[in-house]
Amino acid sequence: MLQIKNLHASINGKEILKGLDLTVRPGEIHAIMGPNGAGKSTLASVLSGNQAFEVTKGDVSFYGKNLLELSPEDRSREGIFLSFQYPVEIPGVSMVNFMRTAVNEHRKYKNLEPISATDFLRMMREKKELVEMDNKLANRSVNEGFSGGEKKRNEIFQMAMLDPRLSILDETDSGLDIDALRIVANGVNKLKRTDNASIVITHYQRLLDYIIPDFVHVLYDGRIVKSGGKELALELEERGYDWIKQEVDAK
Amino acid sequence: MSTNILDEVTTGDYKYGFTTDIETDIIPIGLSEEVIRLISTKKNEPEWMLEFRLKAYRHWLTMKMPEWAHLNIPVIDYQSISYYAAPRKNTPKSMDEVDPELIKTFNKLGIPLEEQMALSGIAVDAVMDSVSVKTTFKEALSEKGIIFCSFSEAVEHHPDLVQKYMASVVPYTDNFFATLNSAVFSDGSFVYIPKGVRCPMELSTYFRINASNTGQFERTLIVAEEDSYVSYLEGCTAPMRDENQLHAAIVEIVALKNAQVKYSTVQNWYPGDKDGKGGIYNFVTKRGICKGANSKISWTQVETGSAITWKYPSCILLGDNSSAEFYSVAVTNHHQQADTGTKMLHIGKNTKSHILSKGISAGFGQNSYRGLVKVNPAAENARNFSQCDSLLLGDKCGAHTFPYMEVNNDSAIVEHEATTSKINEDQIFYCNQRGISTEDAVGLIVNGYAKEVLNQLPMEFAVEAQKLLQITLEGSVG
């Protein structure tokens, strides 16, 4: 579904991604790990179309479409979902209103009629249970006054509502206590199907105890320098990133 | 040129020794006693009305334009303005002749076709059975003894009421623009709700259809007798173009014992183009008096139009236990400037006022809140709460808050809160990532911000006003 070839991207003239390649097929979970500043979050931003980053070289195709030509909102409507590392607060906009607008934009893109109020509320109720979200949260403004854990749960709730083909979880585990981590990971696992895929960006192996990846990639200095199965994550946990750095620098 | 107009003009000339080119039917520009006499004659006014106008005019000559507002007002040459609104010429005959841009906006706002036609200046009679609509309204209202008519009709048919209440809240000496209005006002509305009557409908739809040509110097007077209630809506969400650049309106509200008046405004006069050329100057004096005990006046305004807005809907809380509310959303985009707010004057005991102002600035817009809360020595237990929020879109616009408080009674509680926030790119991107376009995202955020005020509007207008906010801010982010 997703093919990234030789992707170069920079911010304020500084190159962060330096020739990244990655292929994701339906049904797969890919974990991207790597030291600070390797470009993990940049990858998430570039794939979702954040204008702050400039793509200088390379191709990204998503189900045959040139992803880089699509606006951020069209990428979302095509089925790319980003769970933000730092979800922003939008005061005054209720979750209900926000989600209904988003869901209807997705439906409009597929030439579907807006969802009825009854169906929408039923959908909200179902998906909320998935991440054990408090009923009250849905009536509050988007992320306003949410705790760190609530914000992350809210991201997964939105993911469930929008049913993406590819979800990118950017450091979803950061700032979560062990209970919240379990809830979030459970939500992600329940949403897993053979026709969707996830890219899980994380710093620590911890999350991968709950979300079992099919592939683990190490991102270092803007490139994927090592790929392997889930055992690679454990090795990284044990040995840190220095040996990988040395391997790369030796080449 | 029809002989009727010829007759009218020549009659006027002879009677007052006023000469004009009979070929043009436009009275010369400029302001003089002759012009005021001519206006009064054309409107068939009684002598007392003319005297009122002349008194105001003579006083106006001694006044200077106020300069305290945080506005950059170009020099206005009052002698280069025509003070008689001649009937509009070249009105379109059908929707085919109306500017397609205007129709696009109408459709975005979801305004029914019949109203679109009326607002475009198409003669209402040609497109709908306006007489029957009017009659239905009139019958329903007159059954209850409610008077709802043009100001001119009120002068003719209800002179006692007009004489009793006109200028009782905004005296002709009040301020430069109010005095000018008192001298030259064109027309407006008159509402009278008798004792114990609850007006059965929002006085809005009727007004919207009929208000498209009220002209530049409007004058409105609303009188609510004891134990009565009325909700009145002025203005229109549709963009209103007008060749007259200077607008100076007056609205007076009188609420007697236990009466409640809710006044809502949606103002969308032409704001000028994106470079700030053209656009209406809107200098409005609106004031209500809670004259009787337990009376209540509530102002709600959504201000999105005009190049310059100078407007402070106010309340005099005279009756004991009376209360007043002011809810405002003011948007300035491109080069628009707004200096708006309210005055709450507490005189009676246990009087309450509540102020909620939401300013939104985009482009090069300058948005000021200016409010005065004054508690007189006799106003025991007066309460006021003011909240003034500003929202900025972009970094070239400005938001300013000028709250004034004069508290002369120790038992008073006066509170003021203010916030300033900015729509940032992260919020927009977050919405984009969920499939919401930038313009819809701005609309969502702005409407969320203005929600508490929009909720005060009558239902059907709240929906239109929401869309209006979004349309006004189109292209202001990104």
Number of domains in chain A: 1
pLDDT, chain B, mean: 82
* Residue ranges making up the domain that contains A59: 2-250
Q: Which range among A187-201, B42-56, B239-253 shows the weakest confidence by mean pLDDT? A: B239-253
User: pLDDT higher for B11 or B163?
Assistant: B163
DSSP 8-state assignment for residue B269: B
DSSP secondary structure string for all residues of B308-333: EEEE--EEEE-STT-EEEEEEEEEE-
User: pLDDT higher for B249 or B187?
Assistant: B249
H-helix or E-strand spanning residue B401: strand B398-407
Point out the residue among A51, A52, A76 whose CB comes nearest to the CB of B434. A76
Give the CATH number, domain containing residue A120. Answer: 3.40.50.300
Sort out which chain B residues have CB atoms less than 8 A from A71's CB and list them.
Answer: 432, 437
Strand runs labelled E in B268-322: 281-290, 296-303, 308-311, 314-317
Q: Which two tokens stand for residue A21?
A: 């390649």
Q: How confident is the model at residue A205 (pLDDT cuts 50, 70, 90)?
A: confident
- ipTM, two decimals, is 0.96
**B305-339: buried (b, 16+ CB within 10 Å) or exposed (e) per residue?**
bbbbbbbbbbbbbbbbbbbbbbbbbbbbbbbbbbb
Look at A72 and B449 and tell me if their CB atoms are within 8 Å: no
Mean pLDDT score, A13-19: 95
Q: How far is Cα B157 from Cα B183, in angstroms, rounded to an integer?
A: 21
Q: Which two tokens stand for residue B71?
A: 């506005």
B24 has pLDDT over 50: no
Q: How far is Cα B260 from Cα B296, in angstroms, rounded to an integer?
A: 5
Per-residue pLDDT reduced to its tens digit, B347-390: 999 999 999 999 999 888 899 999 999 999 999 999 999 999 99
Sort out which chain B residues have CB atoms less than 8 A from A46's CB and list them.
Answer: none
Sort out which chain A residues have CB atoms less than 8 A from B422's CB and list them.
Answer: none
Q: Which residue of A has its CA nearest to B426?
A: A88
Q: How confident is the model at residue B102 (pLDDT cuts 50, 70, 90)?
A: low
Q: Which two tokens stand for residue A155?
A: 């991201």
Q: How far is Cα B131 from Cα B209, in angstroms, rounded to an integer?
A: 12
Q: Which range among A15-19, B8-12, B290-294 shows the weakest confidence by mean pLDDT? A: B8-12
Q: Which residue of B has its CA nearest to A108?
A: B435
Q: CB-based burial of residue B61 (10 Å sphere; 0-12 exposed, 13-18 middle, 19+ buried)? A: exposed
Q: What is the pLDDT of residue B325?
A: 97
Q: How far is Cα A223 from Cα A221, in angstroms, rounded to an integer?
A: 6
Q: Which residue of B has its CA nearest to A73?
A: B435
- In angstroms, the separation between the Cα of residue A24 and the nearest Cα of chain B is 20
Nearest to A11 by CA among A41, A44, A55: A55
DSSP secondary structure string for all residues of chain A: -EEEEEEEEEETTEEEEEEEEEEE-TT-EEEEE--TTSSHHHHHHHHHT-TTSEEEEEEEEETTEEGGGS-HHHHHHHTEEEE-SSPPPEEEEEHHHHHHHHHHHHHHHTT-PPPPHHHHHHHHHHHHHHTT--HHHHHSEETTT--HHHHHHHHHHHHHHH--SEEEEESTTTT--HHHHHHHHHHHHHH--TT-EEEEE-SSSGGGGTS--SEEEEEETTEEEEEE-HHHHHHHHHH-SHHHHHHHHH-
CA dihedral A222, A226, A231, A233 (to 10 degrees): -20
pTM (2 d.p.): 0.80
Nearest to B469 by CA among B442, B431, B429, B432: B442
Point out the residue among B427, B436, B438 whose CB comes nearest to the CB of A105. B436
Q: What is the pLDDT of residue B134?
A: 52
Q: How far is Cα A116 from Cα A137, in angstroms, rounded to an integer?
A: 21
Per-residue pLDDT reduced to its tens digit, B118-138: 555 544 333 333 344 455 677
User: pLDDT higher for B467 or A169?
Assistant: A169
Q: How far is Cα B122 from Cα A131, in angstroms, rounded to an integer?
A: 57
Q: How confident is the model at residue B286 (pLDDT cuts 50, 70, 90)?
A: very high
CA of A202: how far to CAs of A44, A171, A197, A215, B413, in Å? 11, 5, 16, 13, 54
CA dihedral A225, A226, A230, A232 (to 10 degrees): -110
Sort out which chain A residues have CB atoms less than 8 A from B449's CB and list them.
Answer: 91-92
The letter for the amino acid at A52 is A
Q: Where are the domains of chain B?
A: 1-29, 129-422
What percentage of chain B reaches a pLDDT higher than 70?
78
